[in-house]
Amino acid sequence: MKVTIDGNSGFCWGVVRTVQIAEQYLEQEGNIYVLGHIIHNPKEIERLRNKGLETIHHEDFERIAAEASKQGKTPKVLIRAHGEPPETYRKAMRLGIELIDATCPVVTKLQERVRKFYDQGYQVVIFGKKDHAEVIGVRGVCNDECIVVKTVEEGLHSVDFAKKTVLFSQTTMDRQTFYALRDALQVRVKELVVDTMQNIAVEFHAKDTICGQVSGREDKLAAFAATQDVMIFIAGHESSNGKVLYNVAKAANPRTYFIEDIEELQDEWFEGAETVGISGATSTPQWLMETLKTAIEERYATVPA
């Protein structure tokens, strides 16, 4: 059995940057906080926790500020790649918390563009998941006055076709559905039937803000998966792009299986397999895929046909 790791898998540059910033401060400070899980991968979270990275949430700000004040220190809190809404920065400033901003530059640019169109009076539509950390940050820059949809159907039911509209996307969503949503809205917003039965041209913009490092992997992953007898896709269950990329691999190779932990491997998956491919999300560390490769080679290399 030959086990191969997809050469195009693993951390995107935004995640690499965030982890590097975290490790740099951990070396300097010994311990720092991160607001929310640094990435959607439990194994990498555990590795960084062992180095001194403590995960906190917004409701912990007052506590850590009070504890640090008693010690005469300034608490340091890392903002992860997903970004945060403006209120988080204001609250940290009020409490004397130092923020280490590791927001992915792609996400920062998305927030800037949403704010620009919101200030110009556009109806803002976001293709994404309303409670995803990245989208919460984007909602914050437009005072939560936006429409967040996950499907074309939701968009058609939620959008006011009479308003000038701008469509954005969460950076880790799938491009195919985004384009379908764009096309469906574009027809209705551009030529809208009103009470006078006249066609009114309404300005509409669609901003493709899907991260190229996510969408750019889809074709390569599909090609790689198609060459393997079995595909194992390893990622955190909460990873949005992990779900997107897993579905790409599954479509190309029905014998594709999603796991978060090596212990989830099942013997029957490997029956008759001569080649096994491994891939992961943009939040899946290389070391975890290497560990998975070794485990498969040790456990299943001699599975009979």
Question: Which helix (DSSP H) or strand (DSSP E) does residue 91 occupy?
Answer: helix 86-95
Asked if 134 is an active-site residue, the reply is yes
Q: Please state whether the predicted TM-score (pTM) of the whole model is above 0.95.
A: no
Name 220's Cβ contacts closer than 8 Å, sequence gap at least 6.
6, 8
* pLDDT by position in tens, the chain (length 305): 899 999 988 887 888 899 999 999 999 988 999 999 998 888 899 999 999 999 999 999 999 999 999 999 999 999 999 999 999 999 999 999 999 999 998 899 999 999 998 998 999 999 999 999 999 999 999 999 999 999 999 999 999 998 988 889 998 788 888 889 888 988 888 643 223 223 334 455 665 666 665 667 888 999 999 999 999 999 998 887 888 899 999 999 999 999 999 999 999 999 999 999 999 998 899 999 999 999 999 988 664 44
At 241, list the tokens. 């792009």
- Among 44, 84, 134, 218, which one carries the catalytic annotation? 134
DSSP state letters, 10-74: S--HHHHHHHHHHHHHHHHHS-EEEES-SSS-HHHHHHHHHHTEEEE-GGGHHHHHHHHHHTT--
Domains and CATH numbers, the chain: 2-10+215-300 (3.40.1010.20), 13-103 (3.40.50.11270), 106-170+175-209 (3.40.1010.20)
